[in-house]
Structure 1
């Protein structure tokens, strides 16, 4: 770790992957270097404190070897060490989303003991729940479960990872987690959906919740991603499909209508989609020729099209020197990407420093993160956390820390006010968090 940081004097280690949460971001760099930045209120940055970071900061003291995956939930983070066969998690612990057997916040990476020794193929984190696919194709889930998003047949939260029995005997290839729903693709190309389904985001043709995975009738799929309340899939031929909530155009069909089953995005029918990511109310798709497209809610510029208007059809995101994109990741209101040149860009909401530019300014076009980019004009040594244990967290009442967000109403047919760029009373203007609302 020390050698890798020292090498950053001349050029930062190459980026391996990026991920984005509600208001924080992470990057895994070559040499097992893990950087985080943005909001740190709940320990989601892993630096041992509750401070925000405006630039990428190396997590000091986290020396787990062979980190191959780092995934953000809304206000927590998970990582996987392939060498140790160990999952780590940290951040906001409510509802058991960290998998440690309790609901305690954690400010530095801690091993998920229940998963020790299990070979993990993929991790997925939603707003308050997580899942893991093992190399054997089994699926485990934990965290919040008020709408059945854990797929366990109940609505009880789980403080520890549990096996989804519905997938026993079915080899799962990939999973994705939204706010309160989950989706999976099997090795046979079948799509499953479960959890909260009010907007058709399960793809099952209705608006009902499901407490266990249910198969979606569709073409053969190979990729799946979830936005807050919509789902994105890619077929074996590279065609892009979306379904669920589309009040802000996040489905990309040229309108603001919900779709209850997978619906092809015709605007990209001549392109082969290679990667997808879903934000709170926006969507990003990367094509096989390295072009990036975005659409949906764009109040903070998170679509990256150079404006702040919602887009109901894919808009191409432009990069300096027409650099081809290698990976994209959506946060709630911001987006990260790195190019084939290993330059990292961020855009959208910047109020907590989640863009990594050293400021708290929103951006509606991609802006390079100098500290992580070999072409960055201000390239310099990466900052590191002090690695001082966070001794005690001062308790603040929920009424002071969290904002209640009213449950959204399903739009009635013909309700024009619920379409497009509309004022949504339940969309927080700032980045306050949500808490469980008892019905």
Structure 2
């Protein structure tokens, strides 16, 4: 289970992954301690985050308590969340942990500024005696949220509140301790999402959630300067207000929500009993200047509007928003993205010329590994979970190692994350081998160490070759290399007929895929021509300088 990812979360420039054994891993930018490693160093591939015993008096001060304990009796993590510069984790006993940036109190602590190791949010520990237990956590840019087992919503950090100024009517206040959102008393909050300064929540129409999804209503509050609340205007709200487009009379019911910096995306299904995900649609509203709404324009929308560029028969199961881009996943494992900046963070096939910013104004289908089930979007990077949780792929801006493939370079196409980490893999194997046997002799221990080092070296080489093969395959055929779909020529004879395989792909490609391949090779050929021309010019300049230099030496004064 340590090799299987069950949840992912992306912050501004860091990424979190929750494994099936309850362990949490992080990578990317380490500033403010957002990775939870005790340092502010960047990590270019996944590293383990260690949690102390909640009952330990040293739980927030002694780094040695965090450094390597692995007591199986301790609570396991069951949820994670990533804000812009901070992180949250939830354990199965209801304990909430936080680390990273804390200027607005988003860690739930008032005494500290920033924290580089997981610290317990004490407020929820005190509530356990009353029967209240946190069951999910979520993070906004500078705020944090939790939903308890009674359906209550808690918030802390930078929170929207009524203003004392009658002309304003709305402001943000910093709360370092969780406080309940009293507007939903008597009902149950099922999901919550938060952008830079706005919040969206799914709440039951009655006291309890029936589980079918048709009883959920969508509320929004906070900053609304771009229409991101979906209420038909740009007036900010300090209190939750229902998005009336999806009221109880509406044939569509919202079952998933996500917020970008200044836009919102929703997934809906019809209420006609066709199953939760039957007849799905994606709706967006708010800021549209980078195409993050997917409507084919850069216009803002103050009311929810359906995204038309998605296949009508797509059964959507996962949704997430980055700062200025949006991604969705279907039950078939297909991924679509749209939004900001020439593909960085979202769409490798978005390529434009002239004055166009390069934004994808409509959904573009990604070419990821098969079996994608989850997606997470950061400020300028995207991550998906594939192969039943055993593979991670990332693309976008690679600064600080946020893509998790060991480098800091940008990637315009999905690239495999180093998962599982080779060193962790060998460490576990060595521990298992030692536990099964009695203490080995010095000679046996030496052999074991040498063997482990050799295996680690070979595994590292294999990982490197897999990455190289994947990149090469994508460059030639414009699709990911999947070992479950290896070409028949390679399976049968061990010889890969590239020409034949390319011909097969061209025959089966649709018009859009052929157009993308044509654009890719045209751009690549233009780059090669430009490079050759630049080198030729440089050679000509060098020759001219040599000639001038030779002429000046032979010149004599009359």
Instruction: Give yes or no for contact 1:139–1:164 (8 Å, CA) kept in 2.
Output: yes
Q: Residues 103, 247 of structure 1: CA spacing in aligned structure 2 closer, same or farther, 3 A cutoff?
A: farther
Q: Residues 103, 251 of structure 1: CA spacing in aligned structure 2 closer, same or farther, 3 A cutoff?
A: farther
Distance 2:100 2:323 in 1: 19
Q: Residues 266, 185 of structure 1: CA spacing in aligned structure 2 closer, same or farther, 3 A cutoff?
A: same
Distance 2:387 2:143 in 1: 32
Determine whether 1:350 maps to 2:392.
no
Instruction: Give yes or no for contact 2:342–2:360 (8 Å, CA) kept in 1.
Output: no
Distance 2:113 2:383 in 1: 29
Distance 1:39 1:178 in 2: 20
Distance 1:232 1:281 in 2: 12
Determine whether 1:240 maps to 2:267.
no
Determine whether 1:298 maps to 2:341.
yes
Which of residues 85, 104, 108 in structure 1 aligns to 2:113?
A: 104
1:54-87 CA-to-partner distances (Å, cap 9, x unmatched) read 11111243765221101111000000001x2110
Unaligned stretches of 5+ residues in structure 2: 51-65, 164-168, 205-214, 247-252, 271-279, 352-357, 428-558
Determine whether 1:311 maps to 2:344.
no
Instruction: Give yes or no for contact 2:391–2:419 (8 Å, CA) kept in 1.
Output: no
Distance 2:232 2:262 in 1: 15
1:148: Cα distance to partner?
6.7
Other structure's SS at 2:31 match: coil
Aligned residue in 2 for 1:431: none
TM-score, normalising length from structure 1? Answer: 0.79
Q: Residues 182, 72 of structure 1: CA spacing in aligned structure 2 closer, same or farther, 3 A cutoff?
A: same
Other structure's SS at 2:104 match: helix
Other structure's SS at 2:257 match: strand
Determine whether 1:184 maps to 2:192.
no
Distance 2:256 2:45 in 1: 31
Aligned residue in 2 for 1:76: 86
Aligned residue in 1 for 2:330: 287
If each structure's strand is expressed as a fraction of its own residues, which one has the higher value? 1
Distance 2:182 2:161 in 1: 17
Distance 1:177 1:240 in 2: 18
Q: Which has the larger radius of gyration?
A: 2
1:412-434 CA-to-partner distances (Å, cap 9, x unmatched) read xxxxxxxxxxxxxxxxxxxxxxx
Distance 1:315 1:169 in 2: 42
Which of residues 4, 29, 36 in structure 2 aligns to 1:14?
A: 4
How many residues are aligned here? 364
User: Which runs of structure 2 are paired with 1:182-261 in the superposition (5 Å)?
Assistant: 182-187=199-204, 188-219=215-246, 220-237=253-270, 238-261=280-303
Instruction: Give yes or no for contact 1:371–1:380 (8 Å, CA) kept in 2.
Output: no
TM-score, normalising length from structure 2? Answer: 0.62
Distance 1:316 1:121 in 2: 34
Distance 1:31 1:270 in 2: 35
Unaligned stretches of 5+ residues in structure 1: 5-11, 374-378, 385-439
Q: Taking CA–CA contacts closer than 8 Å with sequence separation of 6 or more, which of the two structures ends up with the larger relative contact order?
A: 1
Instruction: Give yes or no for contact 1:148–1:194 (8 Å, CA) kept in 2.
Output: no
> Which segments of structure 1 move beyond 4 Å, counting only runs of 4 or more?
146-149
Distance 1:382 1:127 in 2: 34
1:136-169 CA-to-partner distances (Å, cap 9, x unmatched) read 11111110136779xx986321111100111111
User: Which runs of structure 2 are paired with 1:40-439 in the superposition (5 Å)?
Assistant: 40-60=30-50, 61=66, 65-82=75-92, 84-102=93-111, 104-116=113-125, 117=128, 118-145=132-159, 155-187=172-204, 188-219=215-246, 220-237=253-270, 238-268=280-310, 269-299=312-342, 301-307=344-350, 309-320=358-369, 323-341=370-388, 342-372=390-420, 379-381=422-424
Instruction: Give yes or no for contact 1:246–1:256 (8 Å, CA) kept in 2.
Output: yes
Instruction: Give yes or no for contact 2:94–2:135 (8 Å, CA) kept in 1.
Output: no
Other structure's SS at 1:144 match: strand
Q: Residues 102, 191 of structure 1: CA spacing in aligned structure 2 closer, same or farther, 3 A cutoff?
A: farther
1:194-218 CA-to-partner distances (Å, cap 9, x unmatched) read 1110110001111111111111112
Aligned residue in 1 for 2:513: none
